[in-house]
Structure 1
Amino acid sequence: MKKIIFLALGFPNIAKYTNLYTDIIQEFHNKGHEVLVVAPSSDNNQVGLHEEGNIKVIRVATMPLFEVGIIKKGIANLLLSYQYKKALKKHRIVIDFDIVLMPTPPITLTQTANWIKKKSGAKLYLILRDIFPQNAVDLKMLNGNGLIYAFFRKKEMKLYKISDSIGCMSPANIAYIKKHNPKLDSTKLHLLPNWENLPSENDEINSDELANRYGIKDKFVVIFGGNIGKPQKMENIIALAKDCLELPEIVFFIIGTGTEKQMLVELVKQENLSNVILEDKIPKNDYNSLLRYADVGLISLSEAFTIPNFPSKVLSYFGNKKPVLASVDLNTDFGVILEQTNSGLWAEAGKTQELKDKLLQLYQNPELRSQLGENGYHYMKANLQPENAYHIIVQNTE
């Protein structure tokens, strides 16, 4: 068995919440490996070495990393490497790890990852889930010809160089990294699809009660759950909702928070959209119950992207047997994967009529919805479980 350290940016208390990374760390633990997680603390009272669930976690005091301006966020990310290294020394952690697991974002933990790698002879496995700084350029948050971009691009290239293996979300991700990093040893790159545990079939289903609580009872529910930021370009979904006012049975149920949430609230109010319901975060069990009640799972990506993204929220839709409706840019291969797995319909982001036509196909055909939902579920069960990801990571760090 191996000793694993995971350098995380977003890692909730595993005893209370789950996400992509808690699932894979739990899988390593279940397979008998010794795991240590280093992650930010969202509360000063949490700082220190704790056991959360059955996982050892060092919570580190940092500047605010989420839902802040790009300058504050940039400074906070730059300080992470120093803060993590300091925390490891403070808690007298023996640096004798076999594998360093590190996701993107961020790309600024390179120094600490390299220090651990050199000190212990560990393999550095990069879980590539965010291609930064190019994504910030696409969204006009950074100038692609500026000094800040050049600084972070240099860090990105250094991270790829010191990584022993790089797991990419989709074939388009691999192709993009190869094309834009021609000096990189391309044998490091391989496919590491997203993963998530299937919802427990024993979960109590209180969908009717929740539907009454949130005002979606007896409606055709198009649900969106997750981050609400510039990458999601929710204005495209609002345009769709506005075009669907003539169909009062259809409601758009949007759950989540993020930097663009207030903009979204104001836009819904400005357009007087009675068919849009907005909520902040809700408990995972309630969310799964609402997904079971809903009719369609919604994906939205900005048409400005030149990098291929693969939205992880689709896993919750697959797991709850929901057909997917996606508004996506043409640089992602997500739409292609929906077609290959026959699990949903998609339209080019920004083309409202095309997206509405796809929605109406789902609205008018319950048999199609059922078949697409079943296809997504079986694809996820066979290919997108934490155990699949675990085996890929282990095989590429031997």
Structure 2
Amino acid sequence: MVKVKKIIFLALGFPNAEENTIIWTDLVHEFHLQGHDILVVAPASNKTDTGLRLEAGVKVLRVATYKLFDVGPVLKGLANIMLPYQYKNALKINNIKLDFDLILIPTPPITLGKTANWLKRKTKAKLYLILRDIFPQNAVDLKMISQGGLIHRYFRKKELKLYRISDKIGCMSQANIDYIKTHNPKIEAAKLHLLPNWENLPKFEDLGNIDDIKAKYGLTNKFVVIFGGNIGRPQKMENIIELAKNCTEIKDLVFLIIGKGTEFKKLKDNVTSLKLFNVVLEKKIPKKDYYNLLRAADVGLISLSEEFTIPNFPSKVLSYFGSKKPVLASIDLQTDFGQMLEETNSGFWAEAGNIPLLKEKLMLLYKDGDLRSKLGANGYKYMAENLLPEHAYNIICKNV
């Protein structure tokens, strides 16, 4: 382990931690609390919100970029290609002293590898890659780009270079490590190690009465299966719709889906056309309400597309673990997420698309309150012992 004082974190999604927190803000603030001098480079919310500032005590350089979210794949791809040039230019314009000891870069996107490589050459800093997205293969799996096509070859070249220039690579699960080893045999296996997802445990005090929040969203006297997070092609919400269709006879069971993404409109249209009165959709709600709804829910829902050939590991499970909720997962067979649920005895899973088995697992939870409590407590314990920002911080520092 080298002595790390100054760190630069190249971010894609990084909200102002005074207003909202995500996995990346939690990690950055752990480094800050541990006494490191850390600078975050991240997109600005608008063109007037640029420059260097303090956000919740952390230095953040906000950069004007092209629109990175809620756009089509072509515009999103171009925006990501331009990102390293915009970040490099912003560092120069703002006279940022390039004397970092450590460069942290998460995926997505892989295009920021160009900025990371430039910083590495300038500073001789160690480069630590937080691998949370195996791109471009995930885009191939979802039929967004063609295997072996021009776009795939371009991004695959960038992916391989990012792996080569990284000194260490933290992977979400053992299946991710195995996948990278198998499909990138020239990458040094010693670079790879386990870096599970992390999140702070929620603080539920003063959040309000559960009955009140259920009444606000029309969930009084309902058994609530909650899904919170991105609604896109990776989640394949059609499987959840099929599950809901097969549960309409259970009058007090409701699927509460909260989130936004490229597939939200399609999801909403499906719910309307099928007249699924047991599905409640919310695109955006106050953060306090979301935490209260997690408390009020009975089961936390995970959904991954069966089309994946890469092993994904959904970070949203941490919200369920932190809320002591049992997990029900519809997942592909590439991920080892189901194995984790079994080993920690924190939930049930079924292969995505196998609706009868998924319903069978749901019914086990629906009928047994003691079982739900036991599984929820197990997930909470596992998170408290293994999946906090301090755990991620220690793993990263141990490996650089």
**Range into which the TM-score falls when normalised by the shorter chain:** over 0.9
> What SS is found at the alignment partner of 1:44?
coil
Deviation at 1:284, TM superposition (A): 2.6
1:340 aligns with 2:343: yes
Q: 1:318 aligns to what?
A: 321
Q: 1:265 aligns to what?
A: 268
Counterpart amino acid of residue 364 in structure 2 = Q
Percent identity at matched positions? 65
Query: Residues of 2 paired with 1:292 and 1:201: CA distance?
Result: 8
Q: 1:373 aligns to what?
A: 376
Counterpart amino acid of residue 316 in structure 2 = K
Q: Is the 8 A contact 1:124 1:162 kept in 2?
A: yes
Unpaired runs of 5+ residues, structure 2, are none
Deviation at 1:76, TM superposition (A): 0.3
Alignment match of 2:122 (pick from 119, 127, 141): 119
1:362 aligns with 2:365: yes
CA RMSD of aligned residues (A): 0.8
Alignment match of 2:210 (pick from 201, 207, 223): 207
Structure 2 counterparts to residues 34-183 of structure 1, below 5 A:
34-183=37-186
Query: Residues of 2 paired with 1:205 and 1:49: CA distance?
Result: 37
> What SS is found at the alignment partner of 1:116?
helix
> What SS is found at the alignment partner of 1:6?
strand
Alignment match of 1:20 (pick from 20, 23, 38): 23
Q: 2:298 aligns to what?
A: 295
Greater CA drift, 195-204 or 380-389: 195-204
Greater CA drift, 282-291 or 361-370: 282-291
Deviation at 1:130, TM superposition (A): 0.3
Deviation at 1:225, TM superposition (A): 0.2
TM-score, normalising length from structure 2? Answer: 0.98
Query: Residues of 2 paired with 1:204 and 1:69: CA distance?
Result: 37
Q: Is the 8 A contact 1:203 1:285 kept in 2?
A: no
Query: Residues of 1 paired with 2:13 and 2:152: CA distance?
Result: 23
Divergent runs of 4+, >6 A: none
Q: Is the 8 A contact 1:300 1:326 kept in 2?
A: yes
TM-score, normalising length from structure 1? Answer: 0.99
Q: Is the 8 A contact 1:170 1:310 kept in 2?
A: yes
Q: 2:388 aligns to what?
A: 385
> What SS is found at the alignment partner of 2:198?
coil
Unpaired runs of 5+ residues, structure 1, are none
> What SS is found at the alignment partner of 1:5?
strand
Q: Is the 8 A contact 2:12 2:108 kept in 1?
A: yes
> What SS is found at the alignment partner of 2:250?
coil
- Map Cα deviations across residues 233-289 of structure 1 (whole Å, 9 max, x no partner): 000000000100000110000000000000001010010000000001223322111
Query: Residues of 1 paired with 2:209 and 2:100: CA distance?
Result: 44
Q: 2:309 aligns to what?
A: 306
Q: Is the 8 A contact 2:204 2:291 kept in 1?
A: no
> What SS is found at the alignment partner of 1:101?
strand
1:229 aligns with 2:240: no
Query: Residues of 2 paired with 1:217 and 1:64: CA distance?
Result: 40
> What SS is found at the alignment partner of 1:39?
strand
Query: Residues of 2 paired with 1:317 and 1:267: CA distance?
Result: 26
Query: Residues of 2 paired with 1:381 and 1:316: CA distance?
Result: 12
